[in-house]
Amino acid sequence: MRANEITEIPDRPISRELPARHVARLAYVAKDGTPRNIPIAFTWNGSEIVMCTTKNAPKPPALRENPMVALTIDTEVHPPKILLIRGRAERENA
């Protein structure tokens, strides 16, 4: 994709609709090096996708070691509407 196409993605109608959903699938690399893909609740605060987890969950140590993730937000109906996001997770302690 060209840079201008990437910057247009957040303005597309589907990109605005899907963050209003409540569950996404988060893919990350576990500490043992194997892939994980888990359902996770999230919220969209207008500029970031925010996910929370317990302190003893396996995700935080794995994401400290390798913060690269992929996130899928989609609908269950056919044909599905799908938003795919890849990038680096940032950890914030609450």
Instruction: Quick: pLDDT tens for 7-36.
Output: 566 677 766 666 667 789 999 999 999 999
Overall pTM surpassing 0.85 (yes/no): no
Q: How many angstroms separate the CA atoms of 59 and 30, rounded?
A: 7
Burial of 28 (0-12, 13-18, 19+ CB in 10 A): buried
Superfamily of domain 3-88: Electron Transport, Fmn-binding Protein; Chain A (2.30.110.10)
Q: Give me the pLDDT at residue 83, please.
A: 85
Q: Give me the pLDDT at residue 61, please.
A: 93
Q: What letter represents residue 21's amino acid?
A: R
- Is there a contact between 29 and 93 (Cβ–Cβ < 8 Å)? no
Kindly indicate the confidence band of residue 1, based on its pLDDT and cuts at 50, 70 and 90: very low
pLDDT per residue as tens digits for the range 48-86: 888 999 889 999 999 999 999 999 988 888 888 888 889
